Amino acid sequence: GRLSYDKGAAIVHTLRFLVNDDDTFFELLQQYQSDFADSTARLNDFKVIAESVSGMDFTAFFNEWYYGEGFPTYNLEWNKNNSQVFIEINQNTSMSGITPLFTNDLEIKINGTDGSSTTERFSINTNNQIVAFSFDGEVESIEVDPNNWIMNKAGTMTENNEVLSVIDNESK
């Protein structure tokens, strides 16, 4: 049960986030229900329909989230320089020997001291990556996956002035 039933709904919810278009997501669910009404289907049948309707490749997604085990924990170190916020995202997984990396999109929300906020979406491709985006106000807090689209555990959020130096050194 722990590998499929317990996280089945969470996987479908995450798939909806990755499709990023409710009309397409609900179309693929309707297509799946229509094609397999009164019959038996396997995961690959669902995957084929999801890919066909959305035009996306979900091989890595199902390998990590369905066949794999565990979930990611995101630890962030960030720095703000002028109107740019630089965030180093470090991903650890709860079952790193089986699923060492979850490659998926991730939303990060920055909340300002003046009540302003912005949410940006990034593709996670490595266990350690740096992203940057514009934010004019003073940063009050940063949230990982603010809308709970993916099964994850938020780790530490630390302001670190060296995050900018890492980016500066990488661009030289």
Query: What confidence tens digit (pLDDT) does each residue in 84-121 have?
Result: 999 999 999 999 999 999 999 999 999 999 999 999 99
Q: Report pLDDT for 9.
A: 86
124-to-28, 104, 112, 130 alpha-carbon distances in Å: 24, 5, 24, 10
3-state secondary structure of 127: coil
Average pLDDT over residues 131-157: 93
- 169 pLDDT higher than 70: no
Amino acid occupying residue 164? L
**Confidence category of residue 6, pLDDT binned at 50, 70, 90:** low
- 166 pLDDT higher than 60: no
Q: Report pLDDT for 1.
A: 47
Radius of gyration of the chain (CA): 18
With CA atoms as reference, report the closest residue to 50 among 40, 35, 64. Answer: 35
The residue that leads in pLDDT, 42 or 172, is 42
**Confidence category of residue 63, pLDDT binned at 50, 70, 90:** very high
Q: Report pLDDT for 164.
A: 66
Give the strands of the sheet with 72-81, arranged side by side. Answer: 128-134, 84-93, 72-81, 153-159
Q: Which residues contact 106 (CB under 8 A, 6 or more apart)?
A: 74, 89, 121, 122, 123, 124, 144, 145, 150
33-to-9, 39, 61 alpha-carbon distances in Å: 16, 10, 21
- 77 pLDDT higher than 60: yes
Average pLDDT over residues 118-132: 95
Q: Tokens in use for 121?
A: 């979406």
Which among 47-56, 147-156, 163-172 has the top mean pLDDT? 47-56
d(CA 46, CA 22): 17
Mean pLDDT, the chain, whole residue set: 91
